[in-house]
Structure 1
Amino acid sequence: MSDPRLLSPQEIAAIREEIAGAVLGGPEGLAASLENDPEGFLRLVAAARVGAEESSRLLREAIQGARAAGHSWDSVGGVLGVSRQAAQQRFAVKAPAAEPGSAIGAQDQVDGAPPRRTITPVTAFNEMAELEEAGRDGWHLVDYGPLFLVVEASDRTWEHRRAFGGQRRRMKAEGWTQVGTWSFPWRYYKRPTDQV
């Protein structure tokens, strides 16, 4: 069911080798301890569990990214080797409730908190344009997910960036604040463009 053209056998082998290397090489001295320390095997189980959890998280976020890029559940299921329904049941993430018939919905408000709104639907191809427009109007990103952005009102203008995971230090040094947790393959950042 999955499309063998997406990854070559060599690419598959390289990914598997890198994951195994990370599991064995992450905990200091783990590989060497397997030669003579029975406790090392329990550390290996713990390291493999962390690797499996991280792989599972990356898979969920990669699927959200594929959906945000406009791929159907049929396509995602095909790559996973399962039906559309199975992929959707396991991996679908729902956007926050929006006002009926509106592309931009109001969020439930906490008394005294700045107003929030949900911008939906967005894709990986138009979300940055939506954030640019929102930032000019004083809205900044506070949450996101597949096909939606949650922005909050402020008295400042904002700029937003999407960067690959390895750029976090540089972005922080340039005054950017990360929004939410890492969303594979990107991280989202914001910073005010004016002073109060």
Structure 2
Amino acid sequence: MSDGPLLHPAEMDRIREGIAAAVLGAPEGLADSLEHDPHGYLRLLDASRVGAEEAGRLLREAVQGARAAGHSWDAVGRVLGVSRQAAQQRFAGKAVVGSGQSAPPAEGPDAPKRRTLSGLSAFNEMAALEEAGRDGWHMVGYGPFFHEVEASGHPWEHCRVTLPSVARHRRMQSEGWIPVGAGWFPWRYYKRPVSPGA
């Protein structure tokens, strides 16, 4: 792996421009208000804060994704421009708020059984979920290196897509796909029961 940036300058510029456009464009009328409304600058500050928090969340999840893909803390640190130790201290063991953490288990003697599929990576998780789904297990939560599944009386299918647009998310739901959690950057997970004879 090289010690230089993995992205070209034009790619970095597109990311920066995209973030700036999202911060300015998401709040209704924000960009126009900056010409005449001092309050618009407080809205800009708030939108920038939300953008920074989201960027921080994406970075934490991207680090966990790189680790799940088998990259060392040394490799992660090189990409971030810090030492292995600094990367590990900053990101190891940090829970990602709002990710696909497990749903609370149901209680009681009739509660569905749960189990954890562990030791997973971005490269083997879908095969593990496919096998579990054939056996009647469906995903109810996930995190770095694991998926939690719950037993049911019928087979399930699972899929993951890279951050779907609102239109694609709605289309998938209209096709019977059920979103699981809030996503784990860059993925959004879905499940649906398999109809008999499919």
In the alignment, structure 1 residue 86 sits paired with structure 2 residue 86: yes
SS of residue in 2 equivalent to 1:71: coil
Distance 1:194-1:32 versus aligned 2 partners, 3 A rule: closer
Within a 5 Å distance, the mapping from 1:1-196 to structure 2 comes to: 3-93=3-93, 110-112=107-109, 113-166=111-164, 167-194=168-195
Distance 2:71 2:7 in 1: 17
Correspondence for 1:100: none
> Relative to structure 1, is the Cα distance of residues 160 and 52 closer, same or farther in structure 2, using a 3 angstrom cutoff?
same
* In 2, Cα distance between equivalents of 1:94 and 1:35: 41
In 2, the alpha carbon distance for the partners of 1:93 and 1:162 equals 24
User: Which amino acid in structure 1 is aligned with residue 116 of structure 2?
Assistant: T
SS state at 2:36 partner = coil
Taking structure 1 as reference, are residues 170 and 31 closer, same or farther at Cα in structure 2, changes over 3 Å only? same
SS in 1 for 2:173: helix
| SS state at 1:28 partner | coil
d(CA) in 1 for partners of 2:172, 2:91:
30
Unaligned stretches of 5+ in structure 2?
96-103
Aligned equivalents of 1:93, 1:161: Cα separation in 2:
26
Look up the equivalent residue of 2:108 and give its one-letter code. Answer: D
TM (normalized to structure 1)?
0.85
- SS of structure 2 residue aligned to 1:111: coil
Q: 1:93 to 1:80 in 2, by over 3 A?
A: same
Kept in 2, the 8 Å contact 1:93–1:146? The answer is no
Distance 1:31 1:194 in 2: 48
| Residues in 2 aligned to 1:160 and 1:93: alpha-carbon distance in whole angstroms | 27
Q: Distance in 1 between matches of 2:64 and 2:173?
A: 25
Percent of aligned positions with the same letter in both sequences?
67
Q: Give, in angstroms, the shift of residue 169 of structure 1.
A: 1.9
Residue identity in the other structure for 1:110: E
For 1:3 and 1:46, the matched residues in 2 are separated by 35
Note if contact 1:176-1:191 (Cα within 8 Å) is conserved in structure 2: yes
TM-superposition CA deviations, 1:139-163 (whole Å, max 9, x none)? 1111111111111111111111111
1:173, distance to aligned residue in structure 2 (A): 1.5
TM-score (norm 2): 0.84
- Please list every run of 5 or more consecutive structure 1 residues that lacks an aligned counterpart in the other structure: 96-106
**3-state DSSP of counterpart to 1:37:** coil
Q: Secondary structure at the match of 1:62?
A: helix
**Alpha-carbon distance in structure 2 between the residues aligned to 1:72 and 1:80:** 13
Equivalent residue of 1:4, what SS? coil
